[in-house]
C-alpha cells in the first residue's frame, strides 16, 4: 500500500503508520525516509482525513466508530462492511461515483471479485451479462505473506523428500491444489470466497438479477490470481467484439496470442496494475452464440487489494 501511495504520488501532508502494539516502534520507509510505526488506538485518527485499513475484519469493526467520530473516511480492505447496504463497494474503473455516497466507510472488494469485475464491467455495460460461471486459481498471496513463505518451505521440503508440517494452509500445498481454504456453508455448499465473488459482483454492478456460480481453488502459485470466466450475454457477441471492447477498457491489458499459445499467466500479471485478459473465444457448447469464454490474471496484492484501495482514496481528494 505504501508503494502504491509513493509510485502514484498520492497528495498527502502527513502519513501515520499504525499497527498493533507488537509492531509499535518499528519503522517503514516512505519517499526516502523512515517513518515510525505507532500503536493503533481509538485516539489515532485525530487530524486524519483518510484511514486505509488492512488488518482484518475484527480490527475494522472495532475502530470504525473512532474513524467516523474523528471525521475521517475509512477505506477498508476487509470483508467486514462489504455487503452493508449503507457502505459503498467500489472499484474505481466501474463505479467511482459510489465513493461519494459514503457515510464514513468505503469497502474494498475481495481480490477475486475485483480481478473478474474489471474486465467484465465494460462487457456488461455494452452487452448485459445474464450469467457468469467463474473458476478461480488463487495464489498463496491471497492468504498473506506467511502463506507465501510456507509454500516456499513446503516446496523445498517436497523436492528434498523431507516431511513438512503445514501451519498456515490446512492442506499439503507443494505440487497440490485444493478447494479454497475458507469456510464452507453447509446449506449451500459454497465456501466464503465463492459467496463473496457472487454477492459482491452483483452489488458492484448494481444488478441483483445477475446469475453467478463460482468455484474457488487455491493453487501453488506465489503471487497473482487467475480466473476462467464463462460469460453468457443477452444477445450474441463475437470474440472480436469482446476484444475490441476490452482493448479500450481501463485497467485491462489484452494478452491473447493463439499462434504462440501465449495467454495471461500469474508470472506476467505479478507487479502489474492491469488485469491481463486472453483466451477470448466463443463457447462452442452454446449454439446461440451468446456465450464467451476467457481467461484472466491479476495481481492480488495490487489491483486485488492495495492498488484498488489507493485508487479509492484518490477519488476522495
Q: Is 4 a catalytic residue?
A: no
Tell me, which fold does domain 112-300 have in CATH? Dihydrodipicolinate Reductase; domain 2 (3.30.360)
Which of the following is catalytic: 102, 124, 127, 225? 225
Residue 171: pLDDT band with limits 50, 70, 90? very high
Tens-place pLDDT, residues 202-237:
999 999 999 999 999 999 999 999 999 999 999 999
pLDDT the model gives residue 44: 96
Beta strands in 139-251 (DSSP E): 178-179, 211-218, 225-233
pLDDT the model gives residue 179: 96
Name every residue whose Cβ is closer than 8 Å to that of residue 102 and which is 6 or more positions away in sequence: 73, 87, 88
Tens-place pLDDT, residues 236-258:
999 999 999 999 999 999 999 99
Domains 2-109+306-315 and 112-300 share a fold: no
Q: Does domain 2-109+306-315 have CATH number 3.40.50.720?
A: yes
> Residue 23 has what DSSP assignment?
G
pLDDT the model gives residue 314: 98
Across 108-131, average pLDDT:
97
Q: Is 127 a catalytic residue?
A: no
Tens-place pLDDT, residues 148-162:
999 999 999 999 999
Domain spans of the chain?
2-109+306-315, 112-300
Which of the following is catalytic: 111, 124, 127, 216? 111
pTM of the model: 0.95
**Do residues 57 and 79 make contact, with C-beta atoms less than 8 angstroms apart?**
yes
pLDDT the model gives residue 58: 95
Tally of residues, the chain: 317
Across 123-146, average pLDDT:
96
Amino acid at each position: 500500500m505504501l508503494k502504491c501511495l509513493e509510485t502514484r504520488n498520492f497528495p498527502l501532508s502527513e502519513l501515520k503508520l499504525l499497527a498493533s502494539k507488537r509492531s509499535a516502534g518499528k519503522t517503514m520507509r516512505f519517499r526516502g525516509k523512515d517513518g515510525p510505526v505507532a500503536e493503533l488506538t481509538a485516539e489515532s485518527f485525530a487530524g486524519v482525513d483518510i484511514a486505509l485499513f488492512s488488518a482484518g475484519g475484527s480490527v475494522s469493526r472495532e475502530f470504525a466508530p473512532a474513524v467516523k467520530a474523528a471525521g475521517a473516511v475509512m477505506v477498508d480492505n476487509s470483508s467486514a462492511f462489504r455487503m452493508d447496504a449503507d457502505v459503498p463497494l467500489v472499484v474505481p474503473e466501474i463505479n467511482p461515483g459510489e465513493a461519494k455516497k459514503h457515510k464514513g466507510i468505503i469497502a474494498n472488494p475481495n481480490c477475486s471479485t475485483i480481478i473478474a469485475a474489471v474486465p467484465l464491467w465494460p462487457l456488461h455495460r455494452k452487452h448485459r451479462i445474464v450469467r457468469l460461471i467463474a473458476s478461480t486459481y488463487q495464489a498463496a498471496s491471497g492468504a498473506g505473506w506467511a502463506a507465501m513463505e510456507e509454500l516456499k518451505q513446503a516446496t523445498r521440503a517436497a523436492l528434498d523428500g523431507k516431511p513438512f508440517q503445514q501451519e498456515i494452509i490446512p492442506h499439503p500445498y507443494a505440487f497440490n491444489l485444493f478447494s479454497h481454504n475458507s469456510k464452507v456453508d453447509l446449506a449451500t455448499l459454497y465456501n466464503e470466497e465463492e459467496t463473496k465473488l457472487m454477492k459482491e459482483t452483483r452489488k458492484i454492478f448494481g444488478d441483483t438479477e445477475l446469475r453467478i456460480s463460482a468455484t474457488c481453488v487455491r493453487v501453488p502459485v506465489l503471487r497473482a490470481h487467475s480466473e476462467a470466466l464463462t460469460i453468457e450475454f443477452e444477445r450474441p457477441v463475437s470474440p472480436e467484439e469482446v476484444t475490441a471492447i476490452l482493448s479500450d477498457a481501463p485497467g485491462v491489458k489484452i494478452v491473447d496470442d493463439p499462434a504462440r499459445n501465449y495467454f495471461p499467466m500469474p508470472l506476467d500479471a505479478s507487479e502489474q496494475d492491469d488485469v491481463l485478459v486472453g483466451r477470448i473465444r466463443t463457447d462452442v457448447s452454446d449454439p446461440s452464440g451468446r456465450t464467451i469464454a476467457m481467461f484472466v490474471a491479476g495481481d492480488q496484492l495490487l489491483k486485488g487489494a492495495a492498488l484498488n484501495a489507493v485508487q479509492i482514496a484518490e477519488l476522495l481528494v
